[in-house]
Amino acid sequence: MVKIEHIGIAVKELAISVPLFEKLLNSPCYKTETVESEKVNTAFFQQGQTKIELLESSTPDGVIARFIEKKGEGIHHIAFDVEDIYAEMERLKNEGFVLLNEKPKDGADNKLVCFLHPKGTNGVLVELCMEKKK
Ligand code: ZN
C-alpha cells in the first residue's frame, strides 16, 4: 500500500459539515460527487498528500444512513492507495481477508475501489483504491 489516500467520515448533512470542515481544515471543499451505486453524496478536501472524504447518504436506507443509525457520525473508513488493485486484492484474499467485492468497482474521485470486511481488520472498514487510468 502506498499511503493513506483518504479518510472517509460519515455525516448526516453535507450542507452543515462542508462549511464546518472548511473552517476546521482552513481549505475549501474542492469537489462534490454523487456515487449512485453506493447511494452517497461525497465532498472532498485535500490535506497535503491525503484527503478527507465526507459521506452523506443520498437515501434514507443507504449504507451511510444505516451506519449513522448504529454508530453515529464519525470515521467510516480508511482508504489506502495501491499501485495495482488487482494484485493487492489477490494478495489480501490469500492472506485470509474477506473482500466485500470480488471485482474492483467504481468509486468517487475517478478511482477503482475494493472494501475489506471490518470483521477481519479489527473493526476498521478498509478501502483499497487505485486511480483509474485514462
Ligand atoms: Zn472512500
Question: pLDDT > 90: what percent of the chain?
Answer: 90
Where b means 16+ CB within 10 Å and e means fewer, 86-119 reads eebbeebeeeeeebeeeebeebbbebbbbbbeee
> 111 C-alpha to center of ligand 1: Å?
9
Question: For the residues 84-113, what does the mean pLDDT come to?
Answer: 94
| Tens-digit pLDDT profile for residues 12-60 | 999 999 999 999 999 999 999 999 888 999 999 999 999 999 999 999 9
Question: pLDDT > 70: what percent of the chain?
Answer: 99
Indicate the average pLDDT of the chain. 95
Terminal CA-CA length for the chain: 21
Pairing of strands 40-47, 31-35: antiparallel
> 5 C-alpha to center of ligand 1: Å?
8
Q: Is 70 exceeded by the pLDDT of residue 134?
A: no
Q: Is 90 exceeded by the pLDDT of residue 133?
A: no
The DSSP code sequence of 101-122 is -SS-EEETTTEEEEEE-GGGTT
Can you tell me the distance from the alpha carbon of 74 to that of 68, in angstroms, rounded to the nearest whole number?
A: 8
pTM above 0.75, yes or no: yes
> 94 C-alpha to center of ligand 1: Å?
23
Residue type, 3: K
Name residues with Cβ closer than 5 Å to ligand 1, which is an ion. 8, 53, 79, 127
Question: For the residues 59-84, what does the mean pLDDT come to?
Answer: 96
Which H or E run contains 77?
A: strand 74-81
